[in-house]
Every structure is written in structure tokens, then in C-alpha cells.
Amino acid sequence: MQVFGVLLLLVLALSCGKTGSNAGLPKVNQEQQRKIIPLDGSNIAGLYMAKFITLNPHVNGTLAGSATIQRQDDKLFAYVRLFGGAPRAWHQQNIYEGTRCPDLNDDLNGDGYLDISETEKALGKILIPLDANLGTQKAGRNIYPMADESGGYFYERVTSFKRLFSDLKSDDKNLSDNVMKLLPEEGLDLEEKVVIVQGAPEGEFPESVASTHRRPTHQTLPIACGTFSKVTKIPGEVYEEGNIPGPIGEVEEPEFPESIPHDDSWEAPTPREEAPEEEPWYDRVFDWWRSRWESARGNRLQEWGEG
């Protein structure tokens, strides 16, 4: 009977030891242990979207936007849109290994700000920088989009998936930085990965708000976060022509003086009659170019009017 009791205690002790060791692992590692991910990247296919939520809203206000990753054969597309940010702000944007957006519970020093140091403690290291070169982690380093005068921006890049995946699987030559590589026995999974956008208006911040790489605090402050999920189409409802939801009103078109010169060769872009099915992003890219054209046209008319 005494022998049985001793054996029972040993079994309980070993069980507690295993539980304790797993409890100390980051959440992302626990999930990867439960989910089998192919080592060749073949699981990455289709469309992944992360809708933004606002971080530090008392600094920048409420933001809207999303990030989208799409793979078609060997092409990998990345799109990011942000609206309502600071005019001319520089926006770093990175996909992390973590699987949840940080919140005020991650404000470890209790100063009311969720800084980049606290954010990276919750999310781990950067997996894919959404910078000037999507194909490698370092080639486009420090070249990120800048918002326009209205505080919005549109980021678009395309690369070879094989090139990106090969770079992610290469040797990590700097284990002390905040960028990670995939281990030889580790696959790539985009679902539930988190994307963070940084870059707030210039201002005075408490000394407790941390920054990185000796940059000004406002440039590294996280302002938006999203978690990727796989989708079959871009969410939203298409309204029939002429059917505008909500309150509407008519606006008279302004008449410009005859003295304003007209350049008939500089015409607005017109959409094709039908966008091919293999180009699901055509309409959205067209909308963006159309808005840029209208903005440029407005600036020209204003210059001519002042002249």
C-alpha cells in the first residue's frame, strides 16, 4: 500500500512539472504546437484580411482601415489602407509572430500609453515588415509609407512568394534584434498573425513612453492593430447604381473662371467596362488612383485661381 502511494505521488509530481513548463510558453508557441503547418508554405493561399482597431486613441483619435495579404500562384500581394491619421506622418507597419492585439492590460508601467516596447513584449518579434521591399526582411528597411495631407495612405507591394519564404527560412544572423526567422522545422501561418501600424502626430509625451532605434516617440507609437483571418472576398455590400444608402443631398458643381487654363490631354482615368475575375483588386486600385487624380486636379485649379 505504501509503495502504491509513493508511485501515485511521483506520477502527480511529473504531471505538475509538465503543466508548469507549458504554462510558461508564449501563447503563439502553444498554438503552433497544436496546429500542424506545412514546412513548404503550401498552406498560404487566397486572401487574408486584418481590419484595424485603434490603439492609443487619445493621441490620434479613432482610425479606420485594413491590411490584406493575397497569394496567387507565386505572387504575393500586400495592401494596407489607413484613414484619419496624422497628416504627413511616417507609418512603420509590420506583421508580428503574435496572435492577439495588445490592449491597456499590456500597459505595464501604467502611464496610459501603449508604447512600442510594451507592444512587442505582447507580440514577440517582427515576421514580415511591410516596407519598400516585400521580398526580404532587410532590403526595404526603414522605407515605409507616409500619409497625405488628410492623414490617409495606401500601401501596395507585390513580390515572389518563393523569394519571401526563402528569406524567412534563411539563417538568423542577428538573434538580438526584433526580427525573427522561421526555424527549419517551422512553417508559415498567416491566420491570427497581428499587424501593427505606428506613427502618431508630433507632441509631448511622458518620459515613460518608450521608443526604439533612437527615433522620436511619435514615430514609433502604435496607433492601429489588426489580426489576420482568411476570407473569400472583401467584406462590404455592393449597391445598385443610383441607390445611395442613408441621407442624401444634391450639391451644385462649382463654375470655374474662363481664365483657368484647361488641359484636355490630362483626363481623368476611366474604368474598364468589365474587370477580369482574376483581378479582384482592380476596382479598389482604380478608386485609389481616381482619388489621387481628383486631389491633384484640385491642387492645380487652386494654383491657377491664385495666379
Over the stretch 126-139, which tens digit does the pLDDT of each residue have? Answer: 999 999 999 999 99
Averaged pLDDT, 134-156: 93
d(CA 290, CA 174): 43
Q: Which residue has the higher pLDDT, 166 or 245?
A: 166
**Architecture of the domain delimited by 46-231:** Sandwich (2.60)
Average pLDDT, rounded, for the chain: 80
Confidence of residue 118 (pLDDT cuts 50, 70, 90): very high
- What the block records as the C-alpha cell of 214 is 533612437
Question: How many whole angstroms separate alpha carbon 230 and alpha carbon 44?
Answer: 10
Q: What average pLDDT does range 211-221 have in this prediction?
A: 95
> What is the pLDDT confidence band of residue 28, given thresholds at 50, 70 and 90?
very low
Give CA torsion, residues 108, 110, 114, 115, to 10 deg: -70
CA distances from 274 to 235, 279, 280 (A): 20, 10, 11
* Residue of 143, 112, 128 whose CA lies nearest to 196: 128
pLDDT band at 295 (very low <50, low <70, confident <90, very high): low
Amino acid at 69: I
pLDDT for res 268? 47
Residue 194 cell numbers, joined = 497581428
- Whole-angstrom distance, CA of residue 199 vs CA of residue 60: 9
Measured in Å, how far apart are the chain's first and last C-alpha atoms?
103
pTM over 0.75: no
Q: What is the pLDDT of residues 30-75, one digit of tens each?
A: 454 457 899 999 999 999 999 999 999 999 899 999 999 999 999 9
- Compute the radius of gyration of the chain from its Cα atoms: 25
What are the start-end ranges of the E strands in the chain? Answer: 46-51, 53-54, 64-72, 75-83, 93-96, 126-129, 153-160, 194-198, 222-227, 229-231
For residues 117 and 234, give the distance between their C-alpha atoms in angstroms, rounded to a whole number.
Answer: 32
pLDDT in tens, 232-262: 887 766 555 555 455 545 555 555 555 545 4
Q: How far is CA 204 from the centre of its chain?
A: 26
pLDDT score recorded for residue 283? 53
Angle subtended at Cα 197 by Cα 119 and Cα 199, rounded to the nearest 5 degrees? 95
